[in-house]
Structure 1
């Protein structure tokens, strides 16, 4: 009876294991709360994860030597705590460092090594990151002073990357700390793109609106009884409203494309037939611009997998651009070919106009990017045509290649995957 009473209860055993795993638990809680901070305060997920680690710590069988005093003293406790957190650090997707109260690195996970290069165990974290804001942040944490929960840090070599950095003590009295980097580069790039897009769209709509408002004011005032001026102003206003309508149509088209899931179309489309129809539909534009469209298409069906309406939009955009901006060359060629069965299918639209300077080619598929703003607006361009082309081709698993030489013209080639 006495022997049974001397055996620890399940609750006492669990409590003992919790005490012996306090470093792992503290590391788990701190790291998960840091991630929770970056994710916008979704506390439920972090609490569930901490509860899971808590359960594991209680249920894990004791290792040999657990619960026994460590002969190595405080330093041994720190090393054991660091080793206990290594497994946890390994599964963190973001760069993470575990360091002691002197700023010496005890462990860097793989993500940290890939992002910032290797650092030897015991190396100085403050020598690794020489930025003043990192030094001050780590100093506040080591001194136990109140510090902001996270700071922004920009790494400029080998290329610019933006991080949100959090640091905090772990392991209770073990003297261990964690430094966690959250890469914000892609989020910032998307935010900049969104801001630029809204600014550009607002500008493109504001310009014709300002023009229309000015003409209305003139018609209600000085030109009230001037029939000739009234007809001229109304014609300009009609052109400006048509321009706004085109812009809104392109914005809606781009929005619909981005809203679609990235599931490739499954219908079969005969490119030869489709390209002939597109060429016929733009014959009036070719006549107006003084351009002859030359077709080089196979007689046999040339099928690809795609959405017919979207592909019509792609080649109508490319052929229309060739007629408008390459009109000085007097001709445009439209060629489709497949070298052999099972190979890629290529469709090339070539003009013989002024060409595009090389520095502009990487950017001409960006929204609202124009090589020549005045020429584009004179040709009734919205700056969204090639962005729409790019989105459609991405959905089809196709790619666009652009080649141009100033004074000799430009070629836009669409490559469809085999099948």
Structure 2
């Protein structure tokens, strides 16, 4: 009963003698006297039970996947209990989280490799051209060198974002111990992005509540959050001509926090993209994102920083009416 993993004791006929609370919780409908062969019908489980009960194996391990109610993968070990007791034990080690992380890592490496391969191939092609056909063509040389510089800049931004994400993931729950002046931080973000806004023909409007606004947190990290969100609004909401940055007390009466909303009036985001938009490398419009020098990691970094601050991000959008990204920050 003290074992945290699901554990089942059975006899020589593969009938359940005892199951702990974790086993009852993981596999509903267990009861002493029930046949394990009927409960676990997967071929690998049948082979495991047969081998143990027949005495051909003293112990064995298999991987078993339970499909319902949610898919879970277990490493199942079976062995006899003591000597000559005619009792055997099954222990289920849940591998689901480890498998999920493994899959995420594989996807992440594949995505990062793909994102780096494109500019590298481009640069390699231009170097070859500069050494051959364009060797003495000054105009082509300048054009190609500019493109190569843009591509190396893109790779550098991608690596910076990957390192930033890696640092955040190594300490996801480190609680910052300082107070941040939210008004001053967001004013600094708006000032720093003024050239980009001007370049894109965007007017940034402020709508801040009165009085001092302080929240617990790390100033540099919160600066990165709002810089990322405002930069996206200026780039992807360009057609709307303006972006509104508002600071307000949280609308939820039970939560005395602060809401910071960055709203653009551009093309908006289709509903099916919203749940996935904070995933690494997920892009609503791949071509537009690359044109705007996006790495596909910005919102993933935002999400990780907000998790560290016990804060959250909500996104509301309607196609053709722009998008609103709201950061909900706790007051204490």
Q: TM-score, structure 1 length as denominator?
A: 0.76
**Correspondence list, 1:88-99, <5 A:** 90-99=1-10
Q: Which residue of 2 is the match for residue 227 of structure 1?
A: 138
Distance 2:202 2:157 in 1: 23
Q: Which residue of 1 is the match for residue 234 of structure 2?
A: 323
Cα RMSD after superposing both structures: 1.5
**Correspondence list, 1:263-342, <5 A:** 263-338=174-249
Unaligned runs of at least 5 residues, structure 1: 1-89
Q: 1:187 aligns with which of 84, 88, 98?
A: 98
**Contact residue 272 and residue 298 of structure 1 kept, 8 A:** no
Tell me the number of residue pairs that the alignment of Structure 1 and Structure 2 aligns. 330
Q: 1:405 aligns with which of 300, 314, 318?
A: 318
Q: 2:120 aligns with which of 196, 199, 209?
A: 209
**Contact residue 137 and residue 147 of structure 1 kept, 8 A:** no
Report how far residue 176 of structure 1 moved.
Answer: 0.3
- The verdict on how the C-alpha distance between 1:137 and 1:341 changes in structure 2, with shifts beyond 3 A counting, is closer
Distance 2:270 2:172 in 1: 35
Q: TM-score, structure 2 length as denominator?
A: 0.96
SS in 2 for 1:367: coil
Q: Which residue of 1 is the match for residue 266 of structure 2?
A: 353
Structure with bigger gyration radius: 1
Report how far residue 366 of structure 1 moved.
Answer: 1.4
- The verdict on how the C-alpha distance between 1:364 and 1:148 changes in structure 2, with shifts beyond 3 A counting, is farther
Encode CA deviations 1:375-399: one digit per residue, 9 max, x unaligned.
1111100011011111111111111
- The verdict on how the C-alpha distance between 1:342 and 1:102 changes in structure 2, with shifts beyond 3 A counting, is closer
Encode CA deviations 1:194-225: one digit per residue, 9 max, x unaligned.
11111111111111111111100000001101
**Comparing 138-147 and 318-327, the one that deviates more:** 138-147
Encode CA deviations 1:62-83: one digit per residue, 9 max, x unaligned.
xxxxxxxxxxxxxxxxxxxxxx
Q: Which residue of 2 is the match for residue 34 of structure 1?
A: none
Q: Which residue of 1 is the match for residue 35 of structure 2?
A: 124
**Contact residue 59 and residue 80 of structure 2 kept, 8 A:** no
Encode CA deviations 1:92-121: one digit per residue, 9 max, x unaligned.
111111000011101111111111103221
Encode CA deviations 1:250-291: one digit per residue, 9 max, x unaligned.
111112222236221121111111111111111111111121
Q: Which residue of 1 is the match for residue 293 of structure 2?
A: 380
SS in 1 for 2:247: strand
Which 4+ runs in 1 deviate beyond 4 A? 339-342
- The verdict on how the C-alpha distance between 1:327 and 1:144 changes in structure 2, with shifts beyond 3 A counting, is same
Report how far residue 347 of structure 1 moved.
Answer: 0.3
Q: Which residue of 2 is the match for residue 113 of structure 1?
A: 24
**Contact residue 153 and residue 163 of structure 1 kept, 8 A:** yes
Encode CA deviations 1:350-388: one digit per residue, 9 max, x unaligned.
111111122221111111111121111111000110111
Distance 2:229 2:303 in 1: 11
Greater fraction of residues in helix: 1
- The verdict on how the C-alpha distance between 1:162 and 1:171 changes in structure 2, with shifts beyond 3 A counting, is same
SS in 2 for 1:91: coil
Q: 1:244 aligns with which of 121, 144, 155?
A: 155
Distance 2:238 2:304 in 1: 26
Greater fraction of residues in strand: 2
- The verdict on how the C-alpha distance between 1:261 and 1:410 changes in structure 2, with shifts beyond 3 A counting, is closer
Unaligned runs of at least 5 residues, structure 2: none
SS in 2 for 1:355: coil
**Comparing 183-192 and 323-332, the one that deviates more:** 323-332
SS in 2 for 1:153: strand
